[in-house]
């Protein structure tokens, strides 16, 4: 967290840090180098055309990170685990799998761990699209699975989100055909932050999974009011061919520690782990950290309430300025801006505010992640300055 942001101090310290690490904020898979990827016709990320010096960022609001984590107990568990770094973490992986299985109400054979859910999104795509086929998903959505599926030789069948930015389930049902190898649903969705109603989604998953596996990415689930009732994980316990992905990167505040998991039927997990390894990619540090974090319900609850409070603050400020954010159920918010996306992004970064920009539905948009309240106040102040509000 950045305390008492003072532009003069920042400029002074950034001069000292000049020549430090230059980083690109683009986290996108599709850097433009893989020409076989079909881009969305609705959304295009506007990536910076200037070098980014991370040491000059005062408010890092571009990657949906949790500004509060990891919890002090997780940090302690990780520090204590470092001395065990000479050993593989298979025992810790087994402990974590047992804890997750208990929490999700499924057997241990239903859990696969990975270094972040990205690893599992990609492994599912790699193992499903070795022999082509197509993937049905919403557009715009989180592109990880679709990018890997296409890179493997699969075809993407995008279905435009409904007018309220929920999944068009009828459209997705109609898009599934004999060549469909996977359906991908991101709920709540990134980058729109929007939600698809749980009961209709359950009906969709039950029907679609009788034909083809349905992958439901629940990276932001824990930010919802009643997360358990909105998860699709219960369908796995009922034996449906549904794959649910979760991550320790968001509510647990462990993005840089890289750990996540999927829940699926034992047969579906077996079909993946017969081709790629599961726990071999994990560090004892992240395993011990995740085990500790699973017991941190008070900390996780605090992260959620602070996130909600910050989201309400940003929404009200942005709405007061005359903008129209998509109602968000996540740890980020997106809204159309009235200025060229590249110019806006450069102006925000020049003031030390990291955000993401998109061209979506033929308009420029700003996506801002929920940082601390102080960072978001600075975001609002900078936004007003840059847009001359």
Interaction site with ligand PLP (CB under 6 A): 64, 116-118, 142, 186, 190, 217, 219, 247, 249, 255, 260
Q: Which is nearer to ligand PLP, 219 or 294 (CB)?
A: 219
Shortest Å, Cβ 29 to ligand PLP: 11
Q: Which is nearer to ligand PLP, 261 or 335 (CB)?
A: 261
Q: What is the bridge-based pairing of β-strands 155-160 and 134-139?
A: parallel
Region of residue 366 (left: phi > 0; alpha: psi -120 to 50; beta: else): beta
- The percent helix, strand, coil of the chain (3-state, each to 5) is 45, 15, 40
Shortest Å, Cβ 368 to ligand PLP: 14
Q: Which is nearer to ligand PLP, 161 or 386 (CB)?
A: 161
Q: Which is nearer to ligand PLP, 239 or 256 (CB)?
A: 256
Q: Which is nearer to ligand PLP, 52 or 339 (CB)?
A: 52
User: What is the C-alpha to C-alpha distance for residues 356 and 375, in angstroms, rounded to an integer?
Assistant: 15
- Please list the alpha-helical segments (H only) found in the chain: 7-16, 72-81, 90-104, 117-128, 144-151, 169-175, 198-208, 227-230, 233-237, 266-273, 284-293, 297-320, 341-350, 373-387
Q: Which is nearer to ligand PLP, 129 or 351 (CB)?
A: 129
Give the list of residues 6+ apart from residue 305 with CB closer than 8 angstroms, or none.
none
Among 90, 89, 154, 147, smallest CA distance to 118 is for: 147
Shortest Å, Cβ 250 to ligand PLP: 7
Q: Which is nearer to ligand PLP, 249 or 286 (CB)?
A: 249
Coil vs helix vs strand at 24: coil
CA dihedral 341, 346, 350, 354 (to 10 degrees): 60
Shortest Å, Cβ 322 to ligand PLP: 28
Shortest Å, Cβ 124 to ligand PLP: 12
Shortest Å, Cβ 249 to ligand PLP: 3
Other beta carbons less than 10 A from residue 50's beta carbon: 12
Beta pairing partners, 358: 45, 365
Coil vs helix vs strand at 135: strand
Q: Which is nearer to ligand PLP, 137 or 150 (CB)?
A: 137
Shortest Å, Cβ 254 to ligand PLP: 9
Shortest Å, Cβ 198 to ligand PLP: 17
């Amino acid at each position: 967290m950045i305390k008492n942001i003072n532009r003069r101090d920042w400029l002074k310290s950034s001069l000292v840090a000049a020549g430090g690490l230059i980083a690109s904020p683009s986290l996108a898979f599709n850097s433009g180098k893989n020409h076989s990827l079909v881009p969305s016709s609705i959304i295009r990320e506007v990536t910076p055309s200037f070098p980014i010096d991370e040491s000059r960022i005062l408010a890092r609001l571009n990657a949906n990170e949790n500004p509060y984590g990891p919890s002090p107990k997780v940090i302690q568990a990780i520090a204590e685990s470092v001395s065990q770094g000479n050993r593989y973490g298979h025992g810790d992986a087994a402990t974590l799998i047992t804890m997750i299985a208990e929490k999700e109400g499924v057997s241990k054979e239903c859990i696969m761990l990975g270094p972040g859910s990205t690893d599992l999104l990609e492994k599912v795509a790699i193992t499903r699209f070795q022999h082509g086929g197509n993937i049905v998903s919403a557009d715009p959505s989180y592109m990880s699975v679709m990018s890997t599926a296409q890179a493997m030789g699969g075809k993407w069948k995008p279905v435009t989100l409904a007018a309220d930015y929920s999944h068009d389930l009828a459209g997705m049902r109609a898009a599934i055909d004999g060549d469909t190898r996977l359906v991908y649903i991101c709920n709540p969705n990134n980058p729109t932050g929007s939600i698809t109603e749980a009961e209709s989604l359950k009906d969709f998953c039950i029907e679609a999974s009788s034909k083809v596996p349905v992958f439901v990415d629940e990276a932001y689930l824990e930010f919802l009011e009643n997360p358990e009732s909105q998860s699709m994980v219960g369908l796995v316990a009922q034996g449906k061919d549904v794959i649910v992905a979760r991550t320790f990167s968001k509510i647990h505040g462990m993005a840089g520690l890289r750990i996540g998991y999927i829940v699926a039927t034992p047969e579906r997990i077996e079909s993946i782990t017969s081709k790629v390894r599961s726990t071999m990619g994990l560090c004892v540090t992240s395993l011990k950290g995740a085990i500790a974090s699973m017991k941190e319900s008070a900390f996780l609850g605090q992260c959620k309430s602070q996130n909600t409070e910050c989201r309400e603050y940003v929404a009200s400020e942005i709405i007061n300025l005359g903008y129209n954010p998509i109602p968000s159920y996540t740890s980020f918010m997106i809204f159309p801006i009235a200025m060229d996306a590249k110019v806006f992004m450069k102006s925000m970064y020049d003031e030390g505010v990291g955000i993401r920009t998109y061209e979506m539905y033929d308009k420029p948009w700003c996506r801002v992640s929920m940082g601390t309240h102080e960072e978001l106040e600075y975001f609002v102040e900078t936004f007003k300055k840059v847009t001359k509000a």
